[in-house]
Amino acid sequence: MSIPPSRILETFPNPAPERDFHVHIRIPEFTCLCPRTGQPDFATLLIDYIPDRLCVELKSLKGYIWSYRDEGAFHEAVTNRILEDLVAAVAPRFMRLTARFNVRGGIFTHVVAEHRQTGWQPAPHVILSDFANDYGITD
């Protein structure tokens, strides 16, 4: 069963709205088109968010991301547009979108855009071990 491209982002209720928890989503196959040349641009998108009342449904996110495949967009513009659409859909306490575009013409572009809910403050970060090194995580 294929998933059609769509700009509709579906959500579901946060299963633990009483606590801040971190959702990390890695999308290694984002594509859009260069608005000047029409050539494809490839990126890995990293979405990090702390939900409030809603979470993004991943199958709809896949169709949403796919909808950019044939659209011309500058890296900065498409990164901010995706963040705005995600924030409009889930109204998170915090969200960061990092777009790591592959090399084009000898230049890598990384665009980072953030949203913070008014008045939200993150809890202090607690490190219990070097989890990333222990498990070989590179993101």
Answer yes or no: 70 catalytic. Answer: no
b/e per residue, 28-44, with b = 16+ CB within 10 A?
A: eebebbeeeeeeebebb
Closest CA to 61 of 100, 29, 34: 29
Answer yes or no: 55 catalytic. Answer: no
Contact 68, 78 (CB under 8 A): yes
Given the residues 20, 34, 48, 85, the one annotated as active site:
34
Indicate the Cα dihedral angle 18, 115, 41, 30, nearest 10°: 10
DSSP character at residue 119: T
Given the residues 20, 32, 41, 130, the one annotated as active site:
41
Q: Active-site residue numbers?
A: 34, 41
